[in-house]
Amino acid sequence: MREEEYLQSLHFNSLRLEDGSIVNMSLPIVLAIDDATKEAIGESPDVALAGQGGDLVAILRRVQIFKHNKEERIARTWGTTAPGLPYVEKAIDPAGDWLIGGDLELLEPIKYNDGLDHYRLTPAELRAEFDRRGADAVFAFQLRNPVHNGHALLMNDTRRRLLDLGFKNPLLLLHPWGFHQTGRRSLGRSDGAAQEGEFHFKIKSFVLEDGVLDPETTIVAIFPSPMHYAGPTEVQWHAKARINAGANFYIVGRDPAGMGHPLEKRDLYDPDHGKKVLSMAPGLEKLNILPFKVAAYDTAQGKMAFFDPSRAKDFLFISGTKKRREPPSGFMCPGGWEVLVNYYKSLQAKEADQKPAPVAV
């Protein structure tokens, strides 16, 4: 983004196009540079962008360089400048003090050659696939956590509801984020993010292979965006990106893109504000918001089911900690559970290796 677009995004959560129409854009898309890079660019109108290996991947034309006011950006995006915001610590604080924007010309699709490139579908490719499959409705669901049978219950129930509304072929876009949760690196890099990304997509593969979700009515693709944990501001970006990809229905739960306050024992955002903001955000009028039904393990039926307050004692909410132990039958498909167990074992082994050796005194 150039400065005018950046300020519109930061202060209005939207962009006004040349024809006067409004496009939702709640998170600025920017590239930070340091003083040395700014000096090296000088008065050059065009700048080459290189990949991690040094290969030329794109050209930024008719560039504009402007000040990166980090405090303003953080305050407007998160509503706080409290220390401890993961994305801020990893991606903004260490970034340069200048932003460079321009017209981006991609020279060729970027490949990571990690076995996941076939999941990296562009919005145009996703829309083409929905057309090829004859979709008359597309509903999107974003996951931060591994898919379990409760998620599948919700997604299958959503398709049933759309069929009841008269749609003939509603398709699911299962579109998990494709960056490490801190926003530091994308799937495919040779670090913990790559391992985490592979783990998530292995589980999703088993969910399809085991028939928990129907491969004929489900499209899995990487959502190439870091998690900011910026609450109602970020959830607009999540929804807008899915509209670009062809979705017209969006499943929203409590506290989407939220997090705990970094300094206090409370949520940073009101859990209901994300859903409310989506229903009235400029530029998202065409998106149909579907409320997230709460699913939990029904001990009476021995499977995941929608929570029934009238018999709350029969339901078990399985936390991330409990997932590390053997879950009850019916919580997750066997193949996905095996991947989950192996992943946590690898994390425990890595933590053990990183512990400092005891010092004799």
At 240 the pLDDT is 95
Instruction: Confirm if 336 and 146 have CB atoms less than 8 A apart.
Output: yes
Higher pLDDT, 151 or 214: 214
What's the rounded mean pLDDT across residues 165-193?
Answer: 64
**Is the pLDDT reported for residue 95 higher than 60?**
yes
- Name the pTM for this structure: 0.82
Q: How confident is the model at residue 265 (pLDDT cuts 50, 70, 90)?
A: very high
Instruction: Tell me the C-alpha distance between 130 and 219, whole Å.
Output: 9
**Is the pLDDT reported for residue 23 higher than 90?**
yes
At 358 the pLDDT is 54
Instruction: Tell me the C-alpha distance between 343 and 198, whole Å.
Output: 10
At 277 the pLDDT is 94
CB atoms within 10 A of CB 348: 11
What's the rounded mean pLDDT across residues 317-342?
Answer: 60
Tell the CATH topology of 3-106. Answer: Sulfate adenylyltransferase (3.10.400)
**Is the pLDDT reported for residue 66 higher than 60?**
yes
What's the rounded mean pLDDT across residues 131-155?
Answer: 84
At 228 the pLDDT is 94
At 254 the pLDDT is 80
Higher pLDDT, 299 or 34: 34
Q: How confident is the model at residue 180 (pLDDT cuts 50, 70, 90)?
A: very low
Q: How confident is the model at residue 188 (pLDDT cuts 50, 70, 90)?
A: very low
CA 237, 243, 245, 249 torsion: positive or negative? Answer: positive
Extract the tokens encoding 172.
């699911």
Instruction: Confirm if 60 and 103 have CB atoms less than 8 A apart.
Output: yes
At 345 the pLDDT is 65
**Is the pLDDT reported for residue 67 higher than 70?**
yes
Q: Which DSSP helix (H) or strand (E) runs through 16?
A: strand 14-16
**For 75, phi and psi rounded to 5 degrees?**
-65, -40
Instruction: Confirm if 62 and 45 have CB atoms less than 8 A apart.
Output: yes
Q: What percent of the chain is modeled with pLDDT above 90?
A: 55
How far, in Å, are 46, 154, 180, 342 from residue 283 at the CA level? 31, 27, 28, 43
At 325 the pLDDT is 58
CATH of the structural domain 117-347, one choice from 3.40.50.300, 3.30.390.30, 3.40.50.620, 3.40.190.10:
3.40.50.620
Instruction: Tell me the C-alpha distance between 313 and 298, whole Å.
Output: 9
At 357 the pLDDT is 55
Instruction: Tell me the C-alpha distance between 205 and 322, whole Å.
Output: 23
User: Any idea which of 44-58, 69-83, 155-169, 179-193 has the lowest mean pLDDT?
Assistant: 179-193
What's the rounded mean pLDDT across residues 33-41?
Answer: 98
CB atoms within 10 A of CB 327: 18
Q: What are the strands, taking DSSP E only, across the chain?
A: 14-16, 22-24, 32-33, 47-50, 56-67, 98-106, 137-141, 170-174, 218-220, 249-252, 288-291, 295-298, 303-306, 315-316
The DSSP secondary structure of 287-301, one letter per residue, reads PEEEEPPPEEEETTT
The structural domains of the chain, with segments of one domain joined by +, span 3-106, 117-347
**Is the pLDDT reported for residue 205 higher than 60?**
no
**Is the pLDDT reported for residue 337 higher than 60?**
no
